[in-house]
Structure 1
Amino acid sequence: MNTQPKSVVSDLEQAHSQDIETITLLLAKISNRTPEEIKPHLDTMLERLVQPSRERPFYESASPQEWLAAFTEWVESHRGLNLPTLQDEAISRESIYGERG
């Protein structure tokens, strides 16, 4: 049987919709995020869990373009977190190495 992970996830979502909703709400509660923010992460995790174990991991099989796309997606996923930026002085050679620099 050659079932794709996304269709398996779709089948799981239909068969276990109440459980998945409960998990989504619990993750939203403990992470202080909305269910809409949680759902894509949960979907990704379910896809990974249902992948056949004989598949090669991403890092072994991805092309440079796939790596770039994945990295860009990861970067973009952090844009809305409103993380503080470091000032140039905080990452200067002098501040890192001090007198050893």
Structure 2
Amino acid sequence: MNTKLVESLAQVVQSLTPEERELFNQKVMSLDEIEERPFYETATTEEWIKAFREWAESHRSKNSPMLSDEAISRESMYGDRG
């Protein structure tokens, strides 16, 4: 823990006017709200891409058999309905 930083911050907070202290408290509370928000509300585009790729890779299995063209053809999926 950075005790010097905490001590300096405490001194600054003590020197604030009541209005400044209220604004400071509002800012601190808004930081807490940001931390509590879910990933999908706060993630950047790059974070979404990274998370999606990690998710996709986690489902890849080296031992999974490949499906044949017949297995994924429209006729085999829908039969007489398609």
Same fold, TM exceeding 0.5? no
TM-score for both structures, normalised by structure 2: 0.44
TM-score for both structures, normalised by structure 1: 0.37
Ranked by relative contact order (alpha carbons within 8 Å, sequence separation 6 or more), the top structure is: 1
| The structure with more helix, counted as a fraction of residues | 1
Which structure has the bigger radius of gyration?
2
